[in-house]
């Protein structure tokens, strides 16, 4: 008999809201951190996809972003107006040039933001808010999927948004949703 994988860790909507309001948006770093948290939660991007974004990958006018996922597969993800605003605010205040092939997110010295830097930004916010250690960038991806499924999204659409090659990878979120319902 096959053992079921452990259920993905996700955050409550309230905890996501708290995370989104945590960065100090009076600084370029705070604007960057808010934009990346918004993007991770509202698009379900993997951290590797987020740090790989270039400025040309986001079209704020059409409200879509194009990212390269696992297996070098590209996908187009819609952006909510609040996410477009967060990215636009960050780009308007970043001290670094915003050229066509430049990285979208930059570190303190202007280089491409690394996955570790994103994890540190989340850890700063998590610690400040007293959230558990499971509140990671990848937990935002799980939260995106779990909350969408709970709101009635169909599995095939969720599969496309997450960039899963197999529907089986997406089906784990039905177990998360069922477990949540049972708890309630």
Q: CA nearest 35: which of 57, 52, 20, 47?
A: 20
- How far apart (Å, rounded) are the C-alpha atoms in residues 45 and 80? 14
Catalytic residue among 41, 90, 142, 173: 173
| 141 catalytic residue (yes or no) | yes
DSSP E strands, 14-170? 58-59, 64-68, 74-78
Catalytic residue among 70, 73, 156, 175: 70
Catalytic residue among 18, 32, 46, 147: 46
Query: In the sheet where 58-59 sits, what is the strand order?
Result: 58-59, 64-68, 74-78
CB 116 within 8 A of CB 61: no
C-alpha distance from residue 63 to each of 23, 87, 119, 140 (Å): 23, 11, 26, 20
Catalytic residue among 54, 93, 112, 138: 138
| 41 catalytic residue (yes or no) | no
Q: Which two tokens stand for residue 138?
A: 């990848």
Catalytic residue among 29, 126, 141, 142: 141
- How far apart (Å, rounded) are the C-alpha atoms in residues 102 and 130? 35
Q: Which two tokens stand for residue 134?
A: 């499971």
| 147 catalytic residue (yes or no) | no
Q: CA nearest 163: which of 49, 36, 87?
A: 49
| 90 catalytic residue (yes or no) | no
Catalytic residue among 34, 106, 126, 164: 164
Q: Which two tokens stand for residue 8?
A: 């993905």
Residues tagged active-site = 46, 70, 138, 141, 164, 173
């Amino acid at each position: 008999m096959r053992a079921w994988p452990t259920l993905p860790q996700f955050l409550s909507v309230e905890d996501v809201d708290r995370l989104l309001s945590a960065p100090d948006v009076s600084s370029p770093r705070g604007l960057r951190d808010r934009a990346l948290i918004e993007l991770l939660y509202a698009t379900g991007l993997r951290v590797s996809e987020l740090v790989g974004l270039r400025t040309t990958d986001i079209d704020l006018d059409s409200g879509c972003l194009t990212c390269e996922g696992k297996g070098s597969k590209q996908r187009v993800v819609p952006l909510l107006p609040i996410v477009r605003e967060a990215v636009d605010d960050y780009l308007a205040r970043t001290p670094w040039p915003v050229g066509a092939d430049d990285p979208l997110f930059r570190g303190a010295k202007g280089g491409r933001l690394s996955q570790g830097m994103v994890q540190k930004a989340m850890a700063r916010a998590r610690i400040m808010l007293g959230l558990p250690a499971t509140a990671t960038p990848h937990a935002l991806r799980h939260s995106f999927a779990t909350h969408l499924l709970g709101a009635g999204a169909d599995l095939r659409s969720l599969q496309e948004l997450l960039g899963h090659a197999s529907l089986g990878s997406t089906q784990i979120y039905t177990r998360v949703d069922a477990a949540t319902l049972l708890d309630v």
